[in-house]
Amino acid sequence: MRVFGISRDTAWSHRAWTEVLELNFPLISDWNADATRAFGVGSEWRGMRDVPGRSAFLVDGKGMIRGAWPYASNEIPDFDALLEAARSLS
């Protein structure tokens, strides 16, 4: 199992967030919004296009989406539930 974080932020800001939050997984920059559009989570916000909503996806080894969880911007994902869902694929 591999965990990744993806956001529209730059790789440089990801480096800072990784250090500040002491993350043990990589953050990937979706600077051009390819992933945002592919996962269908983009919307318009204050005139900006392709602003991704907070969400989690479970993707299997063949690239198939096996689960999707949308969250409000102020909501923290239930990481235990996400790990349990990922382990159930094994």
Domain hosting residue 8, numbered range: 1-53
61 and 45 within one domain: no
Summarised one tens digit per residue, pLDDT across range 64-88 is 999 999 999 899 888 899 989 989 9
Q: How far is CA 49 from CA 35, 46, 77, in A?
A: 14, 9, 24
20 lies in the same domain as 1: yes
77 and 89 part of one domain = yes
Q: pTM of the prediction?
A: 0.76
Asked if 55 and 71 touch (Cβ cutoff 8 Å), the reply is yes
**Residue 81: what pLDDT?**
92
Unique residue bearing structure tokens 């005139």: 47
Residues counted in the chain:
90
Whether residues 46 and 15 share a domain: the answer is: yes
The pairing of strands 27-29 and 48-52 is: unpaired
Nearest Cα neighbor of 45 from 54, 34, 56 is: 54
Reduced to 3 states, what is the DSSP secondary structure of residue 78?
A: coil
Number of domains, the chain: 2
